[in-house]
Amino acid sequence: MSAATHRALVRRPADSSGRTLVEVAEVRTPRLDPGDVLLAPAVVGICGTDWQILRGLRDDPSPVLGHEGVAHVVEPGDSGLAAGTPVTVNPTHPEDPSFLLGHNLPGLWAERTRIPAAAVRAGLVVPVPADAARPRVAALAEPLAAARYGA
């Protein structure tokens, strides 16, 4: 990883059965607009909708999935959060359907994730306790959905 790039789990074209392939790839680190926040995901789960996308049951366009996780603030913008603060992100904006983290914009399955200013202003980046990024603390999978769609 350099300042200009980072690694991410990126979806590739589906195979002949309609299942999506995922690989680790070097991607461009997003440029921030005023008010955006850049995060470094620490622990990221898998959701039932992630399984649906990977199995070809949904056509959400984001090449990088993941909307359940804990991250650390890398570049806080004007969010009022300090660099290093552990946070979680509410993946759905109450008034802006163009913000659906990991579905229609790149999600947390990456070393860096940009959260747009509109989501930051809406309070969707939420500080969490310092130990929340430890796997024993973070419950980041929807058990029923993960079992149903992952089976």
pTM higher than 0.85 for the full model?
A: yes
Q: Is 5 inside any structural domain?
A: no
What pLDDT was estimated at residue 151?
58
Domain membership flag for residue 24:
no
**Could you write out the three-class secondary structure of the chain?**
CCCCEEEEEEEEEECCCCCEEEEEEEEECCCCCCCCEEEEEEEECCCHHHHHHHCCCCCCCCCCCCCCEEEEEEECCCCCCCCCCEEEECCECCCCCCCEECCCECCCCECCEEECHHHHHCCCEEECCHHHHCCCCCCCCCHHHHHHHHC
14 assigned to some structural domain: no
CA distance 151 to 86: 32
**pLDDT digit string (tens) for the chain, length 151 residues:** 668 999 999 999 888 887 788 999 999 999 999 999 999 999 898 888 888 888 888 889 999 999 989 999 999 999 999 999 999 999 989 899 889 999 999 999 999 999 999 999 999 999 998 887 776 555 555 555 556 556 5
> What's the structural domain count of the chain?
1
CATH of residue 145's domain is 3.90.180.10
Supply the range of the domain harboring residue 76.
30-150
Residue 97 domain-assigned?
A: yes
Q: Indicate whether 119 belongs to any domain.
A: yes
Q: Is residue 129 part of a domain?
A: yes
Q: Is residue 91 part of a domain?
A: yes
Q: Is residue 142 part of a domain?
A: yes
